[in-house]
Structure 1
Amino acid sequence: MRDYSSAETTLLRALDLAPDDPDTLRNLSVLLLERGCFDEALNVAERAHLRSPLDIAGLAHLAYCRAATGLWAEAETTCRRLLASAPIHLGARQILARVMIANGQEDRAIAELTQFVRAHKSHPSATLALASVLQFVGRFDEALTLASHVAHTRPDDESARSLETTLALSLGRFPMPKPADLALATRILVPPATCALEFVALLRLLPRLASQQNVHVVAEPRYRAVLSGLAQQVIFDEPGSELSATPLQSLLSILSTDTENIADGIPYLRPEAELFAKWRASLATFARPLLGIVWEGGALGLSMEQVAAVLPQSGTPVSLMADARRHSMSRWSRPIDAGVHIECPADLIAVIANLDAVVGPDSFAIHIAGALGIPGVVLVPRGYPWYWAQAGGKPMWYPSFKVVVQERLGDWDAAINEGRQRLDALLRALALD
Structure 2
Amino acid sequence: MGMREQTMQARLSEAFLSGDLEKCLEMARTLAVVSGIGPHPLETLLPVAESHDRRAELLDLTDRLAQAAPQDCRLLELGATLLMQLGFLDEAESRLNDALQRRPGHLPALSTLSCTLTQAGRFADACAVLKRMQALDPRDPSALSNIAYITAASGDVHEAINLYRQAIQIKPDHPQMRLNYSIALLKAGYFQQGWSEHEWRFRLPGHTSLPMAQLLPNITEKLDLRGKHVLVTQEEGYGDTFMYLRYLPLLAQRGAIIRVWGADIMSDLCARVEGVDTVQSGGTTPYYDYHCPFISLPRAFAASPNPFGVNPPYIAADLVKSAHFAARLRDDHNLKVGLVWSGAPRRDQTEPFMLDQRRSMTLETLRPLFDLPKTSFYSLQKGTATGQLDESKTPIIDLMPECLTMDDTAALIDNLDIVVSVDTSVVHLAGAMNKPVLLMDRVNPCWRWMTDRTDSPWYPSLRILRQTRAWDWSDVVSSVRALLHDESERKKS
Assess if the C-alpha contact under 8 Å between 1:189 and 1:246 holds in 2: yes
Q: Find out whether 1:71 has 2:81 as its counterpart.
A: no
Q: Find out whether 1:400 has 2:441 as its counterpart.
A: no
Select the residue among 358, 364, 370 that pairs with 1:305: 364
Assess if the C-alpha contact under 8 Å between 1:42 and 1:62 holds in 2: no
**For residues 181-233 of structure 1, what are the alpha-carbon distances to aligned partners after superposition, in whole Å with 9 as ceiling and x for unaligned?**
443685355364x2333332223222322233234446435375353353442
Match of 1:342?
403
Match of 1:130?
147
Q: Normalising by the residue count of structure 1, what TM-score does the alignment of the two structures yield?
A: 0.78
Task: Name the stretch that deviates more: 269-278 or 400-409.
Answer: 269-278
Assess if the C-alpha contact under 8 Å between 1:67 and 1:75 holds in 2: yes
Q: Find out whether 1:43 has 2:56 as its counterpart.
A: yes
| Cα distance in 2, alignment partners of residues 205 and 82 from structure 1 | 51
| Cα distance in 2, alignment partners of residues 417 and 258 from structure 1 | 41
Assess if the C-alpha contact under 8 Å between 2:466 and 2:476 holds in 1: yes
Match of 1:5?
none
Quote how far apart the aligned CAs of 1:384 are.
1.4
Assess if the C-alpha contact under 8 Å between 1:291 and 1:357 holds in 2: yes
**For residues 6-40 of structure 1, what are the alpha-carbon distances to aligned partners after superposition, in whole Å with 9 as ceiling and x for unaligned?**
xxxxxxxx9997224887886565565xxxxxxxx
Select the residue among 247, 250, 254 that pairs with 1:212: 254
Match of 2:311?
265
| Cα distance in 1, alignment partners of residues 230 and 77 from structure 2 | 40
Select the residue among 405, 418, 421 that pairs with 1:360: 421
**For residues 231-265 of structure 1, what are the alpha-carbon distances to aligned partners after superposition, in whole Å with 9 as ceiling and x for unaligned?**
44243464598965234333323323699863732
- Gapped regions of structure 1 (runs ≥ 5): 1-13, 33-40
Q: Normalising by the residue count of structure 2, what TM-score does the alignment of the two structures yield?
A: 0.69
Cα distance change of structure 1 residues 299 and 367 upon mapping to structure 2, 3 Å threshold: closer
Quote how far apart the aligned CAs of 1:63 are.
4.0
Quote how far apart the aligned CAs of 1:403 are.
0.6
Q: Find out whether 1:110 has 2:133 as its counterpart.
A: no
Q: Find out whether 1:327 has 2:387 as its counterpart.
A: yes
Q: Which has the larger Rg?
A: 2
Assess if the C-alpha contact under 8 Å between 1:60 and 1:91 holds in 2: no
Select the residue among 204, 228, 234 that pairs with 2:271: 228
Match of 2:106?
87
**For residues 103-152 of structure 1, what are the alpha-carbon distances to aligned partners after superposition, in whole Å with 9 as ceiling and x for unaligned?**
xx542321121231343332233333223333333332232222233345
Select the residue among 327, 331, 334 that pairs with 1:281: 327
How many residue pairs match? The answer is 407
CA RMSD of aligned residues (A): 3.9
Cα distance change of structure 1 residues 243 and 186 upon mapping to structure 2, 3 Å threshold: closer
Cα distance change of structure 1 residues 370 and 118 upon mapping to structure 2, 3 Å threshold: farther
Quote how far apart the aligned CAs of 1:85 are.
10
- Gapped regions of structure 2 (runs ≥ 5): 1-13, 25-41, 197-217, 343-355
Quote how far apart the aligned CAs of 1:167 are.
1.5
Quote how far apart the aligned CAs of 1:430 are.
5.8
Quote how far apart the aligned CAs of 1:369 are.
0.8
Quote how far apart the aligned CAs of 1:413 are.
2.1
Task: Name the stretch that deviates more: 123-132 or 363-372.
Answer: 123-132
Assess if the C-alpha contact under 8 Å between 1:197 and 1:364 holds in 2: yes
Assess if the C-alpha contact under 8 Å between 2:377 and 2:395 holds in 1: yes
Helix, strand or coil for the counterpart of 2:192? coil
Assess if the C-alpha contact under 8 Å between 1:402 and 1:422 holds in 2: no
Cα distance change of structure 1 residues 256 and 98 upon mapping to structure 2, 3 Å threshold: closer
Cα distance change of structure 1 residues 422 and 371 upon mapping to structure 2, 3 Å threshold: same
Cα distance change of structure 1 residues 405 and 211 upon mapping to structure 2, 3 Å threshold: same
Match of 2:167?
150
Task: Name the stretch that deviates more: 62-71 or 120-129.
Answer: 62-71
Quote how far apart the aligned CAs of 1:82 are.
6.9
| Cα distance in 2, alignment partners of residues 117 and 258 from structure 1 | 41
Cα distance change of structure 1 residues 277 and 19 upon mapping to structure 2, 3 Å threshold: same
Helix, strand or coil for the counterpart of 1:365? helix
Assess if the C-alpha contact under 8 Å between 2:114 and 2:126 holds in 1: no
Cα distance change of structure 1 residues 305 and 153 upon mapping to structure 2, 3 Å threshold: same
Match of 1:183?
224
The one-letter amino acid paired with 1:306 is T
Helix, strand or coil for the counterpart of 2:224? helix
Assess if the C-alpha contact under 8 Å between 1:352 and 1:369 holds in 2: yes
Match of 1:10?
none
Task: Name the stretch that deviates more: 66-75 or 281-290.
Answer: 66-75
Assess if the C-alpha contact under 8 Å between 1:79 and 1:96 holds in 2: no
The one-letter amino acid paired with 1:302 is M
| Cα distance in 2, alignment partners of residues 70 and 17 from structure 1 | 23
What is the correspondence of 1:161-176 to structure 2 with a 5 Å cutoff? 161-176=178-193
Helix, strand or coil for the counterpart of 1:245? strand
Select the residue among 147, 159, 168 that pairs with 2:176: 159
| Cα distance in 2, alignment partners of residues 323 and 379 from structure 1 | 19
Task: Name the stretch that deviates more: 44-53 or 125-134.
Answer: 44-53
Assess if the C-alpha contact under 8 Å between 1:310 and 1:420 holds in 2: yes
Quote how far apart the aligned CAs of 1:266 are.
0.5
The one-letter amino acid paired with 2:189 is G
Cα distance change of structure 1 residues 245 and 264 upon mapping to structure 2, 3 Å threshold: closer
Match of 2:204?
none
Identity %: 20
Assess if the C-alpha contact under 8 Å between 1:395 and 1:402 holds in 2: yes
Q: Find out whether 1:98 has 2:122 as its counterpart.
A: no
Helix, strand or coil for the counterpart of 2:276? coil
Match of 1:36?
none
The one-letter amino acid paired with 1:371 is A
Task: Name the stretch that deviates more: 370-379 or 342-351.
Answer: 342-351
| Cα distance in 2, alignment partners of residues 58 and 270 from structure 1 | 54
Helix, strand or coil for the counterpart of 2:254? coil
Cα distance change of structure 1 residues 361 and 18 upon mapping to structure 2, 3 Å threshold: same
Cα distance change of structure 1 residues 400 and 261 upon mapping to structure 2, 3 Å threshold: farther
Select the residue among 121, 130, 137 that pairs with 1:120: 137
Assess if the C-alpha contact under 8 Å between 1:148 and 1:161 holds in 2: no
Helix, strand or coil for the counterpart of 1:108? helix
| Cα distance in 1, alignment partners of residues 147 and 307 from structure 2 | 33
Match of 2:480?
419
Assess if the C-alpha contact under 8 Å between 2:419 and 2:437 holds in 1: yes
